[in-house]
């Protein structure tokens, strides 16, 4: 049981990977949650996690856009498969963000509500 819990919340240094069930639970219960989608606008339009904010990681203004966010919030970051969001978490950490959570497996693995 403990091994399963540890696997659901795996720290990767400056951020933590969360399994889809825990990610969904945390964004529902965390009053300081900001759900950040780092996919392209076309991907975002095809389906997104409710209340998510889009800041495209691939755009040249990603760093300047994240600098506008409140660093005291808890950021739940996702992309399509988890790779871009992991890199986004690393860049956010380098920019002074502390509470960063990556959706392991990205939106493709997510079981919560997608709108």
Domain ranges of the chain: 13-103
Residues 34-82 have pLDDT tens digits of: 999 999 999 999 999 999 999 999 999 999 999 999 999 999 999 999 9
Q: Which residues contact 94 (CB under 8 A, 6 or more apart)?
A: 14
Mean pLDDT on 14-34: 95
Q: For 13-103, CATH number?
A: 3.40.250.10
Active site residues: 79
Nearest residue to 26 (alpha-carbon basis) of 74, 91, 83, 58: 74
Residues 89-102 have pLDDT tens digits of: 999 999 999 999 99
């Amino acid at each position: 049981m403990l091994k399963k819990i540890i696997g659901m919340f795996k720290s990767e240094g400056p951020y933590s990977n969360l399994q889809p069930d825990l990610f969904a639970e945390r964004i529902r219960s965390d009053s300081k949650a900001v759900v950040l989608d780092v996919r392209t606008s076309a991907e975002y339009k095809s389906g997104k996690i409710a209340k998510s904010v889009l800041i495209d990681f691939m755009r040249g203004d990603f760093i300047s856009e994240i600098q506008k966010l409140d660093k005291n919030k808890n950021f739940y970051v996702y992309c399509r498969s988890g790779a871009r969001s992991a890199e986004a978490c690393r860049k956010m950490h380098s920019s002074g963000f502390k509470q960063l959570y990556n959706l392991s497996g990205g939106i493709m693995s997510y079981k919560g509500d997608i709108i």
